[in-house]
Structure 1
Amino acid sequence: MNDSTWGTPQGAGYRGAPEFGAAPAGPAHDVYGAQQTRPMPIVPDVPDAGRDADDRNREAAHVSGPLFRDEKPQEPMAAPPTPPPAQKKRAGRDLRAAIGVGVGLGAVVIGSLFVVKAVFVGVVVLAVVVGLWELTSRLKERKGVSVPLVPLAVGGAAMVVAGYVWDAEGGWIAMALTALAVLVWRMTEPPENYLRDVTAGVFAVFYVPFLATFVSMMLTADDGAWRVLTFLLLTVVSDTGAYAVGWRFGTHKLAPRISPGKTREGLFGAVGFAMVAGALCMQFLIEDGTWWQGLLMGLAVAASATLGDLGESMIKRDLGIKDMGTLLPGHGGIMDRLDSLLPTAPVVWLLLVVFVGSG
């Protein structure tokens, strides 16, 4: 649309307009031109008589705004931010699922422990094999470490059974043969990273099945079921005390670079709970045991359980994972439950042998 049509009247007058390039058409054209060029009347400024002072002040404030686009209007002062409401402490896991799974595992363990000892040994073997599978899988996924699972699983099961049948000597012999089997099995693959893989394999042999062998060795005593129950109760009570006291009162970090959730207050809770439980267990569950022996045992269990938990946390930090597995809802994997039990087993076995004998 060109500029010549802007303001052109519509209707009959439009047919009288000259075409583009035509000569002026005389008076009619002059009249039309006069209509086109008639000036607008000038209206003098009249004071705002009909408005009061408040209206004029509001208009003046509006006119006094920015005159150019790049001028930014002055923004009103923002109100000071309100502090966020204090959040209530929450557990990092699903407590309902964790409690349900824990009760179920406890029922299986205690039921097999006091019905047939051989069935409990089978439960320990199953836990060892699954734990080895979780550990070797995470090593492969996160670090590319190829640890042969078959000799580990077979040798680990043999170690637990040998500890129950032939006591400590059988456990040591089975461990040596398992480590040798790992070295030989790895020779079937290319030699690259051989030393790295067999080192991780020997570590896995010691970390999971060898430490678990002390549980089956405790079971060989006449009161073996009560010794194993004492070991389980003290470890669970230590972990529970650390969690409860640390969650409620924990403010000082115990090892922030390894496990930020653990606190010194939680460690004191673990020690206190475990010492009380140890005194009760040694006094009423272990034949010839006394309460003061239970206090010492509870202190030792709290220390070993905490170190075991921190040790596995260090492994998971190195691997860049939160849990070793997802088999147990609310808990993670089997290894996430064995972390404090495995290093505590030889401690309790040794203290029981010192205090009341091998049975």
Structure 2
Amino acid sequence: MPPPPPSPPQDPTPPGPGPGGGFGAHGSEPPAAPPAKKSAGRDLRAAIGVGVGLGAVVVAALFVVKAVFVGIVVVAVVVGLWELTSRLAERKQIQAPLVPLALGGTAMVIAGYVRGADGAWIAMALTVLAVLVWRMAKPPEDYLRDVTAAVFAAFYVPFLATFVVMMLAADDGPRRVLVFLLLTVISDTGAYAVGWRFGSHKLAPRISPGKTREGLAGAISFAMVAGALLMQYFVDGGRWWQGLLLGLAAAVSATLGDLGESMIKRDLGIKDMGTLLPGHGGIMDRLDSLLPTAPVVWLLLVAFVGQG
């Protein structure tokens, strides 16, 4: 049998980058992929629609019947507590009792509106006592862990929310609450707009990779301008320079609140606290910057223009 014909010579050029830096034997280079566009990571249409709808309901409640707005705060607090305790149970097996938290949180908000800070503190103390007793119905294992988480939840959600209704209790309460809401929203908007367009230096990459120093500067700038205008033309007895300080404080507290919630979610290994609000996540994902800003704005308004 004659020997088989010799194999054709192999191309000595290995696959991969060629001499010109391209791919293949002849240095041919595939077309470069277009640069990725920046994205907010959420459905902006849904987020804007939900935000406008919620804003309309809140503003209508503010200037029609104060009690309706108090009811909205109560609902937000109870839903927020449900989201937080549910995520703690799912991700960390922490059993923070929801029933005494929800009842105590409702009492805190109402007491804060009717009796001010003294009423809120008394309701907070009774809520903690109720949590301690309620948890005794279960085995003692992890008792300290569960009640500690519950006390944190009671302070973080309903107690901080009482400062919103304490603002509302003033004679010009609806205006004060609207200033608080506008400053927080404008701060968030400034952070997003400036950070999305110019952000390149990370603010806290280990906590919230999307936040930038440029975004923080935008939040502060937007909030200070808005604060100056609101205090000068919207709040009785207010001055523009007080608005600058108010805007600065609100932007910083809103940013810290957002970072604090991001820290909690990273610890739990989740992106959002819930799914109730399309484009936003859960109620707690919208309260993150509002809750810590409420006592700051309340305190500065009392210092600048009195209890009202």
Q: TM-score, normalization: structure 1?
A: 0.80
Aligned-partner residue type, residue 235 of structure 1: T
SS in 2 for 1:283: helix
How far is the alpha carbon of 1:118 from its aligned partner? 0.4
Structure 2 partner of 1:237 = 186
Aligned-partner residue type, residue 196 of structure 1: R
List runs of 5+ in structure 2 lacking aligned partners.
Answer: 14-24
Structure 2 partner of 1:92 = 41
Alignment deviations for residues 109-134 of structure 1 (CA, whole Å, 9 cap, x no partner): 00000000000000000000000000
How far is the alpha carbon of 1:82 from its aligned partner? 3.9
Aligned equivalent of 2:117, options 168, 185, 189? 168
For residues 153 and 213 of structure 2, the distance between their equivalents in structure 1, rounded to whole angstroms, comes to: 30
Structure 2 partner of 1:283 = 232
Structure 2 partner of 1:246 = 195
Cα contact 1:65–1:73 (8 A) shared by 2: no
SS in 2 for 1:65: coil
Alignment RMSD: 1.3
SS in 1 for 2:137: coil
For residues 91 and 340 of structure 1, the distance between their equivalents in structure 2, rounded to whole angstroms, comes to: 18
Aligned equivalent of 2:263, options 314, 331, 353? 314
SS in 1 for 2:203: strand
Alignment deviations for residues 81-120 of structure 1 (CA, whole Å, 9 cap, x no partner): 4432112212210000000000010011000000000000
How far is the alpha carbon of 1:63 from its aligned partner? 6.8
How far is the alpha carbon of 1:73 from its aligned partner? 4.3
Range with bigger deviation, 142-151 or 82-91:
82-91
Question: Does the alignment pair 1:197 with 2:138?
Answer: no
For residues 90 and 186 of structure 1, the distance between their equivalents in structure 2, rounded to whole angstroms, comes to: 44
Q: What is the aligned-residue identity percentage?
A: 78
Question: Does the alignment pair 1:149 with 2:123?
Answer: no
Cα contact 1:159–1:170 (8 A) shared by 2: yes
SS in 2 for 1:254: strand
For residues 259 and 349 of structure 1, the distance between their equivalents in structure 2, rounded to whole angstroms, comes to: 27
Question: Does the alignment pair 1:208 with 2:157?
Answer: yes
Question: Does the alignment pair 1:65 with 2:8?
Answer: yes
Structure 2 partner of 1:305 = 254
Aligned-partner residue type, residue 74 of structure 1: P
Structure 2 partner of 1:271 = 220
Structure 2 partner of 1:262 = 211
For residues 106 and 80 of structure 1, the distance between their equivalents in structure 2, rounded to whole angstroms, comes to: 52
Aligned equivalent of 1:333, options 246, 267, 282? 282
Structure 2 partner of 1:293 = 242
Alignment deviations for residues 117-169 of structure 1 (CA, whole Å, 9 cap, x no partner): 00000000000000000000000000000010000000000000000001111
How many pairs were matched up?
A: 293
Structure 1 partner of 2:12 = 74
